[in-house]
Structure 1
Amino acid sequence: MILTLAMLLDAWLGEPDWLWRRFPHPAVTMGRGVAGLDARLNRGAMRRARGVAAILLLVAGAALAGLTITAIPDLGLLEIAFAAILLAHRSLVDHVRAVARALRASPEAGREAVSRIVGRDTRDMDAAQIARAAIESAAENLSDGVIAPIFWYMIAGLPGMMVYKVVNTADSMIGYRTPRHEAFGWAAARLDDVMNWMPARLTALVLLASHGALHHLSRVPGDARRHRSPNAGWPEAALAPILGLALAGPRSYDGRMQDFPWVNAGGRRTTNSADIDAACAALWRAWGLALIVVAVLGLVGHLA
């Protein structure tokens, strides 16, 4: 019941500016913790071991915070609020839709909007590349920001959700193969891969099932393996045939064009703002199916 209410609360309120202008968002607090450990521990010798120690401290802190919140006798209201905050469906859709609105205004506005949600180079993107980047971000973040937190809540309650979020935050900050972070961020990146392994595949299943498109399921693993990420390819490989699009493909990072393979290579490559809108609608359909599953499982657990 708590998770069901949290999903509904997130869908209703999203990320209210009035709240986060007054209080630090939990994800911001987690980010500060990651940055602090990076500054203090990422130096000298044995950086991989130091990175392992850092992620263990972050996991322990997140689990303790989750246990503390669930122990407060308030009928679960605080737990519902925290779970809703740690979900990101409404804000995901809002950010992706903002790219569609900007792209309809001009390519320049579209590039500015999409630069806020992707890590690739955006300066020279054309309209199709802008739309494709937004859709890929939508698919990946449906897994990372929605299905994975739901999955870990169902496995280990609010502590499990908070542990997942701090690991995912750490991966987004230090889990890169750069001279500074390749060793120190190794543990964060590998643990994030492990914790996202099942949610990524469940996300693909939820996307296909919510669109009556399970006949595409047999092709998803092959397309997912073409993606550079062991997990992100799964939701992209599911969303691509639903929309009839080719996703992934060549893109630029740090000024260098990289020839990544296409996912659903036979799909349409001339993406536009209408395709972004269609992707947002697909996210809501997947969310709706996830809500039904969570509610039914919650009811079964309550009656058992």
Structure 2
Amino acid sequence: MFRGSMVALVTPMLEDESIDYVALEALIEFHIKSKTDAIVAVGTTGESATLDYKEHCEVLRFVVSKVAGRIPVIAGTGANSTREAIELTQCAKDAGVDACLLVTPYYNKPTQEGLFLHHKTIAEAVDIPQILYNVPGRTAVDMTPKTVIRLSKITNIIGIKEATGDISRVAQIKAGAGEEFDLYTGDDATAVEFILAGGHGGISVTANVAPEAVHDIYMAALDGDAVKAQELDASLKALHSDLFLEANPIPVKWALYRMGMMSKTIRLPLTVLSESAQPKVVAAMEQAGIKLS
């Protein structure tokens, strides 16, 4: 349903930690101008865990209104409470998004049957295209390919964001879910390999700061041009790594601050990028050809 580079958009904040809607609008225009193929708003990179329900819905309505149909908008609506995830997904549908992205329930550590029933219940409750999101490094639970394949049979579950970095899962999921089920990488470092193996694109943190480059890399990979994709990706290798020196979105929000795009504000319990990590992120940005303010 969606193809190419989808940015896992940060949520800019003012010094008092309120949402900076001026900066958010500027980021939206930056991405549309830079060929980003879709915006994922208020996902985990957008600090969804520390936004309250009202803020979550307000940001989604704002993004949809400012994008104005120029590219798709996907809403992060996952939660570790099934009821809360349903409420957020309904709010996103009412806001007019094109699809929702639902991270596996974090901390709870449900069984595979629990994961299946969680996502099945949300899909049946809200009639909107839904994308599963598997990131065990952050949630402490891994949705297996077998469970993904079971969920793929539900009509409005259209794909998965797979952030394990395990390329073998592309073939495993394709074999059971079929070609119509969309596969998106959530691991910037292995994105080229993932797409060349049969993935349809990625939901990227790196795309926040290098959107046009990530778009071009993903398009080359989707075209099957491995040499071009790998050559283009070479300058971003350090960025893929160093944007995760500390918990996401700490480094990427600081990188955008250094680009003059927004403040460096981030909500507790996350903190501003440490002074020891800042030179590494700057070096990675310079290697990628990103201009600093």
One fold, TM greater than 0.5?
Answer: no
Return the TM-score normalized by structure 1: 0.29
**Which structure's CA Rg is the greater one?**
1
In proportion to residue count, which structure has more helix? 1
- The normalised TM-score by structure 2 is 0.30
Name the structure, 1 or 2, with higher relative contact order (CA <8 Å, separation 6+). Answer: 1
Query: Which one has a larger percent strand, Structure 1 or Structure 2?
Result: 2
